[in-house]
Amino acid sequence: MTETPSTYRLDDGVAVVTLDDGKANAFSTAALVRLEAHLDHTEIDGARALVLVGRPGRFSAGFALDEMTSSVAQMRGLVVRGARFWMRLYGLGLPTVAACTGHALAGGALTLLSCDLRIGADVPSKIGLNEVSIGLQLPKFATELARDRLVTRSFTASTMGARVYDAADAVKVGFLDRVVPEDALLDSAVAEARRMGELHTSAYATTKLNARGEMIARELARLEADIDTMVLPRL
């Protein structure tokens, strides 16, 4: 992993966070600490919208395997940290746009579900919650996030069934909202973020809180007790 698994820049009121560890954009403890700092910056800078974009072909493969398999305690601590990040992103009081550059599995898919608008590149991609396929239970917060965002008829296959989709089918089930040509992805995401950022900021934030606040509070309240039931994945 590089020393800078993600970077932050402010583009005329739109915060752009780029995930690029040179590999699979895995969520390690260090990567999550840096992402949390980026969310802090969006608020400090008064950004009106946020874009999360991956590296070419890779949005994120989820949690870092070395931490997920080193010990039960390490794994549980990492999942709790990730959950807190995604719940914060899901409730962030400004418009959020994901620019999905390619594969988005497990935590990568959760990042898509946590953003308000999800635009994908028209490239070969594997997108979905594949946890059950590797012997890892999908935590309650992730299950409820999927229930909120996915098409109802696809919920069971996407969670218990660990179904993975290409970009076109990811739109049909709710991981993505639309797909655009790869070379237009970032410009499209920033343009949408800029458009959404023109909405009344406090009204947007309050409406998001009304829609998601109860779910977020409930999942954070039971988070650690639920994660304490998790066992190491089978890899």
What pLDDT digit, counting tens, does each position of 4-18 carry? 789 999 999 999 999
Q: Answer positive or negative: Cα dihedral of 204, 206, 209, 211.
A: negative
User: What is the arithmetic mean of pLDDT over 156-181?
Assistant: 98
Cα–Cα distance for residue pair 178/25, rounded to 1 Å: 22
pTM greater than 0.85: yes
Residues 6+ apart with CB under 8 A from 90: 113, 114, 145, 212, 216
Residue 220 belongs to some domain of the structure:
no
Domain count, the chain: 1
Q: What is the pLDDT of residues 79-103, one digit of tens each?
A: 999 999 999 999 999 999 999 999 9
* pLDDT recorded at residue 214: 98
pLDDT at residue 233 greater than cutoff 80: no
Residue 2 has pLDDT above 80, yes or no: no
Domain assignment of residue 235, yes or no: no
Domain of 101? 6-196
Mean pLDDT score across all residues of the chain: 96
Q: Quick check: is 97 in a domain?
A: yes
Mean pLDDT of 162-174: 98
Contact yes or no for 42/92 (Cβ under 8 A): yes
- Paired tokens of 86: 């995604």
The verdict on residue 63 lying in a domain is yes
Tell me, yes or no, whether 14 lies in a domain.
yes
Query: Quick one: pLDDT at residue 232?
Result: 80
- Cα distances (angstroms) measured from residue 207 to each of 23, 51, 103, 204, 216: 37, 20, 31, 5, 14
Domain holding 36: CATH number?
A: 3.90.226.10
Q: Is residue 201 part of a domain?
A: no
The predicted-structure confidence for 42-54, as pLDDT tens digits, reads as follows 999 999 999 999 9
Q: What is the share, in percent, of the chain residues with pLDDT greater than 70?
A: 97
In a domain, 206, yes or no: no
Residue 233 is assigned to a structural domain of this protein: no
The confidence band for 3, taking pLDDT boundaries of 50, 70 and 90, is low
Q: Are 138 and 62 in contact, with CB atoms under 8 Å apart?
A: no
